[in-house]
Chains A and B, each alone.
Chain A
Amino acid sequence: MNGFNVKFGYRDNFLDNLQPIDILYKTRVNIDGCRATINALGLKHKELNDLLRETVQRGSKELVINNVFGQRYIGTRLYLPSEDKLYIEVNKFPGNDLGTFLNGHRIVVQGNAQDGVGNTMDSGEIIVHGRAGDVTAMSMRGGKIFIRDNVGYRTAIHMKEYRDKVPVLVVGGTAQDFLGEYMAGGMVLLLGLNLQEGEPHRAHYIGTGMHGGVIYLRGYVSEHQLGKEVGVRPLDDQDKENIDCYVREYCNHFGGNPEEILNGSFQKLVPVSLRPYGQIYAY
């Protein structure tokens, strides 16, 4: 093929030329009590996560990661025997799959996040002072995610719940299409704070295939934006309590006047059936 007696072979885009952990630890980490400040500039995904794990294993409980530009899986490899839950601050722009499979830790992002925030997250908290990309909170089973601004496509897709684990996603802005697709449990609260008066939410196909959980929308959507499997219901007292609680929590994180937000009109979307596709088969 090429005139040489060699094959192209394999280039390892993830694992080639990784720096050893002790060198990284020596050069990138500043320890101050239980707080570690980490410089992530130019680090590969695995290098940064090696470093986070090492730092935690050496006893740090608070991690402040600076100069993050696109590093993935932050928080994922911090599944450690210790029961301690960590506080992780990300400055500023984490890569995809932030907090994937997250297990109890708390991550605060001081900028925009990308796709896959809280993918299959089990417990813990992710707070994004900015926006988030596509498939935010996908298959999330527990914990809480707060996004200050907008979210992308397929947010909360296939979100679930299980016994006492009821995941919560609060989005300050609006969402793009397929919000809550296949949703099987949990709660999504979409506040629409950055929409103009009377401007509808951006998403179409909201709740398509939804068969569990609830979506609360503040603001306006037209009928044709909704999936076939959801129905609009009036709020009951429990709903109001939920909304009240999480709007206040949102304002605690990002500021804003909860009363003003709560004054808006809220809608509740729930699945019309727990078995949306029970009738499509011939037995």
Chain B
Amino acid sequence: MLVQQYYQNERFVPDKEMDACGLFGVMHTGGVRFGGQMAIDAIKNMKVRGSGLGGGFAIYGLYPKYKDHYALHIIYQDKNMAAKKVVEAFLKKHFYVVFDEEIPTNPDIHLFAPPLAWRYFVAPQKGSAEENIPDDEYVISKVMHLNSHIDDAYVFSSGKDVGVFKGVGFPEEIADYFMLDKLYEGYIWTVHSRFPTNTPGWWGGAHPLSILDWTVVHNGEISSYGSNRRFLEMHNYYCTLHTDTEVLAYAVDLLMRRQELPIEVVAKIFAPPMWEAIRQMNDNDKELYTALRMTYAPLLMNGPFTVIVAHHNEMIGLTDRIRLRPITAGAKGDLVFLSSEEAAIRAVCPDLELAWTPPGGEPVVVRLNTRDHLQSLNKSI
């Protein structure tokens, strides 16, 4: 419905929200799963970067028992049971649902207008006409359908072995509400504290934003949002969550999953070098970067941003090309941290071994079983 409305009249495309925020991410590069205490404490340390209007966590390695199934986290606004019925009928038709349950919450924590949160572990059940569609593509199209066609139902996350928990409140309250520190473990935790300028009371607008196993937490405002959004619509991504971070999530999906570009290149699409810098490059790079900027001009993410993008086995931190938003990376043993403020890392890991700040547009790529994150070190301060 939202999607059709867009085409009827661009005048009624909802205003995007502008978020400014605190970010934190931590990954164990050995793949060891750990609890949420570090993420919770770190984001709490940066409380004033949020305004209590949204917080959320993405956790990887979350559901080892169901790691081959897509885990759908779906919320029903206003606990709308009619919406739940429609969704479940839809799921039944298009998926095998192997297990489902209400996501447990702590009844002692009172948040603003909590929806009903449910999780479904599913496998695709394709019709004969859909047999050739790859699983991921299939799931995305069904998730897009749910988000845009069923009122009061929103899919928070849809990847395998990953889940997003988010809502309206300070992030530590969200953690308490979903009892994240007690119930869950993962090898990547990313977390977001939100300071939006729009629509309080909207759980879907909180971060992380997610598509399949990709999650994005974002700080800043994407001034090029309109251009980015209209380009992504051309590729069948429709922004329904009224937040500029959404375009980042979809752009990552388009470039990394569908077009199979490596993150090092994708970073240079989002935050390309200045033409002045390209002029200084050798011929090979000059050609490459000129081609990237020409081809992907509509995906230049302009304006201030820091993002932490994660998917299985990988966590990436990136800022805009003139670093209008902060990021600090840190490492101790196999643990690698990304954070809006260094002090938050220090607060949860006092014996940190390394702390560094990459230049604008230079990604910090943290990969499982590698030391790739150290590549950004020698360009950093």
Touching in the complex, A and B, CB below 8 A?
yes
Residues of chain B within 8 A of A4, CB atoms compared: 113
Residues of chain A within 8 A of B294, CB atoms compared: none
CA distance A8 to B203 in the complex (A): 12
Interface size classification for chain A: 35 or more
A70 and B46 within 8 A (CB): yes
**Chain A 162-205 against B: per-residue CB contact (8 Å), 1 yes, 0 no?**
00000000000111111000000000000000000000001010
B343, closest chain A residue (CB): A70
CA distance A96 to B49 in the complex (A): 11
How far, in Å, is A235 (CB) from chain B's closest CB?
A: 26
A224 and B343 within 8 A (CB): no
**Chain A 1-21 against B: per-residue CB contact (8 Å), 1 yes, 0 no?**
111100110010110000000
How far, in Å, is B326 (CB) from chain A's closest CB?
A: 6
B230 within 8 A of A: no
A2 and B113 within 8 A (CB): yes
Given A13-B52, A133-B357, also A93-B346 (CB < 8 A)? yes
Given A176-B323, A177-B323, also A92-B53 (CB < 8 A)? no
Residues of chain B within 8 A of A94, CB atoms compared: 343
A8 and B381 within 8 A (CB): no
Which 3 pairs, one residue from A and one from B, show the smallest C-beta to C-beta distance?
A70-B343, A11-B52, A2-B113
B277 and A153 within 8 A (CB): no
B379 within 8 A of A: yes
Residues of chain B within 8 A of A173, CB atoms compared: 381
B344 within 8 A of A: yes
CA distance A31 to B323 in the complex (A): 43
A150, closest chain B residue (CB): B381
Residues of chain A within 8 A of B346, CB atoms compared: 69-70, 92-93, 111
B343 and A8 within 8 A (CB): no
A122 within 8 A of B: no
How far, in Å, is B91 (CB) from chain A's closest CB?
A: 25
Residues of chain B within 8 A of A11, CB atoms compared: 51-53, 170
B200 within 8 A of A: yes
B78 within 8 A of A: yes
Residues of chain A within 8 A of B201, CB atoms compared: 1-2, 8
B359 within 8 A of A: yes
B276 within 8 A of A: yes
Given A112-B355, A176-B359, also A13-B50 (CB < 8 A)? yes
B358, closest chain A residue (CB): A176
* 24 A-B interface contacts by CB (under 8 A): A1-B113, A2-B78, A2-B201, A11-B52, A11-B170, A13-B51, A14-B48, A44-B47, A69-B346, A70-B343, A93-B346, A94-B343, A95-B341, A112-B355, A114-B343, A115-B326, A131-B381, A133-B326, A133-B342, A134-B323, A149-B381, A174-B381, A176-B357, A177-B359
- Restricting to A136-165, which residues have a CB under 8 Å from any CB of B? 149-153
B325, closest chain A residue (CB): A134
A8 and B276 within 8 A (CB): no
B276 and A70 within 8 A (CB): no
B45 within 8 A of A: yes
A77 within 8 A of B: no
How far, in Å, is B225 (CB) from chain A's closest CB?
A: 23
Residues of chain A within 8 A of B46, CB atoms compared: 70
A194, closest chain B residue (CB): B381
CA distance A95 to B48 in the complex (A): 11
Chain B residues within CB distance 8 Å of chain A: 45-48, 50-53, 78, 112-113, 168, 170, 200-201, 276-277, 280, 322-323, 326, 328, 341-344, 346-347, 355, 357, 359-360, 379, 381
B381 and A202 within 8 A (CB): yes
A268 within 8 A of B: no
Since A2-B113, A134-B323 are in contact, a sample of 12 more A-B pairs with Cβ atoms closer than 8 Å, ordered by chain A residue number, is A3-B113, A8-B201, A11-B52, A11-B53, A70-B344, A92-B346, A93-B346, A114-B342, A131-B381, A133-B326, A134-B326, A150-B381
Given A11-B52, A13-B48, A134-B323, also A204-B277 (CB < 8 A)? yes
Residues of chain A within 8 A of B50, CB atoms compared: 13
B168, closest chain A residue (CB): A8
CA distance A177 to B113 in the complex (A): 45
Given A13-B50, A94-B343, also A177-B355 (CB < 8 A)? no
Residues of chain B within 8 A of A53, CB atoms compared: none
A129 within 8 A of B: no
Residues of chain B within 8 A of A134, CB atoms compared: 323, 326
CA distance A178 to B359 in the complex (A): 11
CA distance A56 to B328 in the complex (A): 33
B343 and A95 within 8 A (CB): yes
How far, in Å, is A85 (CB) from chain B's closest CB?
A: 26
Among candidates A115, A150, A224, residue contacting B276 with C-beta atoms closer than 8 Å: A224
A45 within 8 A of B: yes
How far, in Å, is A39 (CB) from chain B's closest CB?
A: 14
CA distance A204 to B78 in the complex (A): 52
Residues of chain B within 8 A of A224, CB atoms compared: 276, 280
B343 and A69 within 8 A (CB): yes
A202 and B343 within 8 A (CB): no
Residues of chain A within 8 A of B78, CB atoms compared: 2-3
B193, closest chain A residue (CB): A13
CA distance A202 to B112 in the complex (A): 47
Residues of chain A within 8 A of B280, CB atoms compared: 224
CA distance A167 to B276 in the complex (A): 32
CA distance A130 to B142 in the complex (A): 51
A45, closest chain B residue (CB): B48
Residues of chain B within 8 A of A115, CB atoms compared: 326
Residues of chain A within 8 A of B53, CB atoms compared: 8, 11
CA distance A204 to B322 in the complex (A): 10
Residues of chain B within 8 A of A112, CB atoms compared: 342, 355
CA distance A69 to B112 in the complex (A): 30
CA distance A270 to B198 in the complex (A): 45
Residues of chain A within 8 A of B52, CB atoms compared: 11, 13
CA distance A230 to B277 in the complex (A): 18
CA distance A173 to B356 in the complex (A): 13
How far, in Å, is B45 (CB) from chain A's closest CB?
A: 5
Residues of chain A within 8 A of B355, CB atoms compared: 112
